Amino acid sequence: MFRVGSGHDTHRLAEGHPLVLGGVRIDHPKGLVGHSDADAVLHAVTDALLGAVGLGDIGDAYPDTDPRWQGADSRLFLQETLARLNQAGWRVVNTDVTVFAQEPKLGPVKGCIRDTLAELLGVPADAVNVKAKTGERVGHIGRGEAIGCHAVVLVEHAG
Protein backbone atom coordinates (compact mmCIF):
# COMPACT_ATOMS: atom_id res chain seq x y z
CA MET A 1 0.00 0.00 0.00
CA PHE A 2 1.25 3.44 -0.95
CA ARG A 3 0.27 6.85 0.38
CA VAL A 4 1.26 10.31 -0.80
CA GLY A 5 1.51 13.48 1.27
CA SER A 6 2.24 17.11 0.49
CA GLY A 7 3.58 19.84 2.70
CA HIS A 8 4.09 23.55 2.34
CA ASP A 9 5.78 26.11 4.54
CA THR A 10 6.93 29.73 4.43
CA HIS A 11 9.04 31.70 6.87
CA ARG A 12 9.99 35.36 6.96
CA LEU A 13 13.61 36.31 6.19
CA ALA A 14 15.28 38.83 8.47
CA GLU A 15 18.72 39.95 9.51
CA GLY A 16 20.15 38.58 12.72
CA HIS A 17 18.79 35.04 12.29
CA PRO A 18 20.63 31.93 11.13
CA LEU A 19 19.55 30.45 7.79
CA VAL A 20 18.92 26.70 8.04
CA LEU A 21 17.31 24.86 5.12
CA GLY A 22 16.89 21.11 5.05
CA GLY A 23 19.06 20.81 8.13
CA VAL A 24 21.92 22.64 6.40
CA ARG A 25 23.27 25.88 7.85
CA ILE A 26 23.77 28.36 4.99
CA ASP A 27 26.05 31.36 5.25
CA HIS A 28 23.84 34.39 4.49
CA PRO A 29 23.29 37.78 6.15
CA LYS A 30 19.60 36.97 6.66
CA GLY A 31 17.87 33.97 8.17
CA LEU A 32 14.40 32.62 8.77
CA VAL A 33 12.23 33.79 11.65
CA GLY A 34 10.07 31.35 13.59
CA HIS A 35 9.37 29.75 16.94
CA SER A 36 11.78 26.88 16.17
CA ASP A 37 14.84 27.23 13.92
CA ALA A 38 12.30 28.03 11.15
CA ASP A 39 13.68 25.44 8.72
CA ALA A 40 10.95 25.72 6.08
CA VAL A 41 12.28 22.68 4.19
CA LEU A 42 12.16 20.32 7.15
CA HIS A 43 8.77 21.71 8.16
CA ALA A 44 7.35 21.07 4.68
CA VAL A 45 8.79 17.53 4.57
CA THR A 46 7.50 16.80 8.09
CA ASP A 47 4.04 18.04 7.08
CA ALA A 48 4.15 15.85 3.97
CA LEU A 49 4.99 12.80 6.09
CA LEU A 50 2.17 13.58 8.53
CA GLY A 51 -0.19 14.18 5.63
CA ALA A 52 0.65 10.89 3.92
CA VAL A 53 -0.52 8.85 6.91
CA GLY A 54 -3.37 11.09 8.06
CA LEU A 55 -1.71 12.44 11.20
CA GLY A 56 -2.69 16.09 10.79
CA ASP A 57 -0.05 18.78 10.58
CA ILE A 58 3.13 20.00 12.21
CA GLY A 59 1.18 22.62 14.17
CA ASP A 60 -0.85 19.85 15.85
CA ALA A 61 2.24 17.81 16.66
CA TYR A 62 4.60 20.66 17.65
CA PRO A 63 2.53 23.74 18.56
CA ASP A 64 4.39 27.06 18.44
CA THR A 65 2.79 27.92 21.78
CA ASP A 66 4.88 25.17 23.43
CA PRO A 67 8.08 26.57 24.99
CA ARG A 68 9.75 23.16 24.42
CA TRP A 69 10.00 23.99 20.72
CA GLN A 70 11.42 27.49 21.10
CA GLY A 71 14.57 27.61 18.99
CA ALA A 72 14.22 23.86 18.40
CA ASP A 73 16.34 22.07 15.82
CA SER A 74 13.72 21.05 13.24
CA ARG A 75 15.57 17.79 12.61
CA LEU A 76 13.87 16.70 15.86
CA PHE A 77 10.42 17.19 14.31
CA LEU A 78 11.35 15.19 11.23
CA GLN A 79 13.09 12.39 13.12
CA GLU A 80 10.28 11.99 15.66
CA THR A 81 7.63 12.05 12.92
CA LEU A 82 9.57 9.49 10.88
CA ALA A 83 9.84 7.27 13.96
CA ARG A 84 6.03 7.43 14.36
CA LEU A 85 5.60 6.36 10.73
CA ASN A 86 8.21 3.60 10.99
CA GLN A 87 6.57 2.25 14.14
CA ALA A 88 3.28 2.06 12.24
CA GLY A 89 4.99 0.07 9.46
CA TRP A 90 5.57 2.88 6.96
CA ARG A 91 8.80 3.67 5.15
CA VAL A 92 9.66 6.53 2.84
CA VAL A 93 9.89 5.68 -0.86
CA ASN A 94 10.95 9.09 -2.18
CA THR A 95 10.50 12.80 -1.72
CA ASP A 96 10.52 15.73 -4.12
CA VAL A 97 11.17 19.13 -2.60
CA THR A 98 10.94 22.58 -4.20
CA VAL A 99 12.46 25.53 -2.38
CA PHE A 100 11.37 29.05 -3.33
CA ALA A 101 14.01 31.65 -2.55
CA GLN A 102 15.06 34.81 -4.36
CA GLU A 103 18.21 34.83 -2.28
CA PRO A 104 20.59 33.27 -1.52
CA LYS A 105 21.19 31.26 -4.68
CA LEU A 106 20.59 27.66 -3.62
CA GLY A 107 22.30 25.92 -6.54
CA PRO A 108 25.55 25.41 -4.63
CA VAL A 109 23.80 23.87 -1.59
CA LYS A 110 21.08 21.76 -3.24
CA GLY A 111 23.29 18.67 -3.18
CA CYS A 112 24.10 19.11 0.47
CA ILE A 113 20.41 19.57 1.34
CA ARG A 114 19.60 16.45 -0.68
CA ASP A 115 22.23 14.35 1.11
CA THR A 116 21.12 15.64 4.52
CA LEU A 117 17.46 14.91 3.79
CA ALA A 118 18.33 11.42 2.53
CA GLU A 119 20.24 10.69 5.72
CA LEU A 120 17.45 12.03 7.93
CA LEU A 121 14.82 10.03 6.04
CA GLY A 122 16.91 6.86 5.88
CA VAL A 123 16.71 6.62 2.09
CA PRO A 124 19.33 6.61 -0.69
CA ALA A 125 20.25 10.02 -2.14
CA ASP A 126 18.51 9.18 -5.42
CA ALA A 127 15.21 8.93 -3.53
CA VAL A 128 15.45 12.63 -2.69
CA ASN A 129 15.18 15.48 -5.18
CA VAL A 130 15.70 19.14 -4.31
CA LYS A 131 14.71 21.87 -6.74
CA ALA A 132 15.31 25.58 -6.28
CA LYS A 133 13.14 28.33 -7.74
CA THR A 134 13.35 32.10 -7.37
CA GLY A 135 10.29 34.25 -6.87
CA GLU A 136 10.90 36.08 -10.18
CA ARG A 137 11.31 39.26 -8.08
CA VAL A 138 7.57 39.52 -7.37
CA GLY A 139 5.58 38.81 -4.23
CA HIS A 140 6.99 38.26 -0.74
CA ILE A 141 9.43 35.60 -1.93
CA GLY A 142 10.56 37.53 -4.99
CA ARG A 143 11.24 40.59 -2.83
CA GLY A 144 13.45 38.48 -0.58
CA GLU A 145 11.12 38.84 2.41
CA ALA A 146 10.49 35.12 2.82
CA ILE A 147 11.55 31.64 1.77
CA GLY A 148 8.98 28.96 0.98
CA CYS A 149 9.08 25.22 0.42
CA HIS A 150 6.78 22.63 -1.09
CA ALA A 151 7.37 18.93 -0.50
CA VAL A 152 5.78 15.73 -1.75
CA VAL A 153 6.49 12.41 -0.05
CA LEU A 154 5.54 8.87 -1.07
CA VAL A 155 5.41 6.25 1.66
CA GLU A 156 4.88 2.50 1.47
CA HIS A 157 3.48 0.14 4.10
CA ALA A 158 5.56 -2.93 4.79
CA GLY A 159 2.53 -5.14 5.46
Q: Please identify the residue of the shown chain whose CB is closest to the bound Mg ion.
A: 43
**How big is the site for Mg ion, counted in residues (CB under 5 A)?**
2
Please give the helix or strand (H or E) that residue 38 lies within, else none. Answer: none
Residue from 30, 43, 75, 114 touching Mg ion (CB under 5 A): that is 43
9 belongs to the binding site for Mg ion (CB under 5 A):
yes
Contact 8, 150 (CB under 8 A): yes
Q: What are phi and psi of 61, to 5 degrees?
A: -75, -35
Q: Any alpha helices (H) in 21-129, and if so which ranges?
A: 40-52, 58-61, 75-87, 110-121
- How far apart are CB 44 and Mg ion at their closest, in Å? 8
- How far apart are CB 157 and Mg ion at their closest, in Å? 27
DSSP 3-state percent helix, strand, coil across the chain (nearest 5): 35, 35, 30
Select from 6-14, 76-84, 108-116, 128-136 the region that touches Mg ion (CB under 5 A). Answer: 6-14
Select from 3-11, 94-102, 135-143, 149-157 the region that touches Mg ion (CB under 5 A). Answer: 3-11
How many whole angstroms separate alpha carbon 62 and alpha carbon 56?
Answer: 11
| Closer by beta carbon to Mg ion, 43 or else 110 | 43
Q: Which residues contact 98 (CB under 8 A, 6 or more apart)?
A: 131, 132, 133, 149, 150, 151
- How far apart are CB 2 and Mg ion at their closest, in Å? 26
- How far apart are CB 32 and Mg ion at their closest, in Å? 8
Residues found near Mg ion in the complex (CB under 5 A): 9, 43
